[in-house]
Amino acid sequence: MDLIDAFDDEPVADWLGIAVYLADAVASDTVDLAAAHDELQRSVTPTDRHALTRAVETCARQLGSESLATSLLRDAMTRCDDSSEAA
């Protein structure tokens, strides 16, 4: 996939890959939307904030700000922010 292969920042590429994979799974009815959100958010730690920010920016630029992959990453960032505030 061009979006991921062209990206040389491994943590950002990992988040992009996970989000695109889950978005594709939702689109093909393999996974429901709630499960995709849960899966991505369960993986987030406060140390992921920088990589997630860059992944959201890249995904929005390449796939559109309204794409499911971008939405999944934004929601994961919210979880990351919530975890940081709780700490």
Binned at pLDDT 50, 70 and 90, residue 1 comes out as very low
Domain boundaries, the chain: 2-82
Give Dmax (Cα) for the chain.
37
Q: What is the pTM of this model?
A: 0.81
Give tens-digit pLDDT for 12-69: 989 999 999 999 999 999 999 999 999 988 888 878 888 999 999 999 999 999 999 9
Nearest CA to 36 among 3, 82, 67, 81?
67
Separation of alpha carbons 3 and 34, rounded Å: 24
